Structure 1
Amino acid sequence: MLKTYRGSCHCGAVQFEAELDLTQSTYRCNCSICRRTRFWPAVAREEGFRLLAGEGELTRYLFNTRKNEHYFCKHCGVRAFGIGTETPIGKMYGVNLGCIDELDDEALSRLPITYVDGRADCWGSAPAFCSHL
């Protein structure tokens, strides 16, 4: 069931609203950027994401295939969301669950997680080791 959540980067310069169904899987990936930033997204469809403040405070980073857009706050460095441009559902937003204040540790501990092997470009498979993700 979709529910609207509000979130922000650490300093509050970037604020967003996202419609998420947290009964559906969230994702942990071992690719080079997700592993380094500990990014933990839930998926919002394009029409279910709204940037409320801070568009000018974001830095966009593209790497490798340039398919995905990674956004970081210029001030605190937090990656509040990213945009997947070539996914099975089309354009989507990966919303960093750590940036949603109303999700406490207990709520986060109950979320379903799918582990994906982005490092090997095998998005439909879990990596051999994933407990550290």
Structure 2
Amino acid sequence: MARRTYSGGCHCGKVRYEATFDLDAGTTRCNCSFCGKARYWGAQVQPEDFRLLSPEDQVGLYQFGAKVGNHRFCPACGIASYSHGYVEELGGAYCSINVATLDDVDPTVLAKVSVQYLDGRNDRWDETPAEFRHL
């Protein structure tokens, strides 16, 4: 698969975005305290390839810990659609969309996408956690 533009958003439609990336480049699942509870399934997108279509002041913001990540969600339905921030271990500035919030992607395509498991719980972002089947 090549780079293409996907659209996505929350359940109620208040938060909408477009992102251009190659889904075949892989996705991530992390065991950190946020991703583990949210069941966040991320796909990295270059910040310049992400376009928020909703007014930013209508998108909720959640930060924790060192506050380097900006977890964005819909205040109406609660769905976390994307995050962005700056983490040196991830290559600096990043944007991550929640793959589960993509519109109109065939489930058979999603089933074939590779997943890299990250040990964010222990700040070992370049390692796979000992257990990841629950992610």
TM over 0.5: yes
Deviations 1:20-64 (A, max 9, x none): 111112000000000000000101101100001142221111101
1:73 equivalent in structure 2? 74
2:127 equivalent in structure 1? 125
d(CA) in 1 for partners of 2:73, 2:53? 15
Q: What aligned pairs does 1:6-25 form with structure 2 within 5 A after superposition?
A: 6-25=7-26
SS in 1 for 2:36: helix
Percent identical: 38
SS in 2 for 1:28: strand
1:57 equivalent in structure 2? 58
d(CA) in 2 for partners of 1:83, 1:108? 22
Q: What is the total number of aligned residue pairs between the two structures?
A: 133
d(CA) in 1 for partners of 2:19, 2:91? 16
**RMSD (Å) for aligned C-alpha atoms:** 1.1
Name stretches of at least 5 consecutive residues in structure 1 with no aligned partner: none
Q: TM-score, normalised by structure 2?
A: 0.94
The amino acid across from 2:57 in the alignment is G
The amino acid across from 1:80 in the alignment is S
Q: Which has the higher helix share?
A: 2
Q: TM-score, normalised by structure 1?
A: 0.95
d(CA) in 2 for partners of 1:114, 1:97? 13
> After the TM superposition, which segments of 4 or more aligned residues of structure 1 sit over 3 Å from their partners?
none
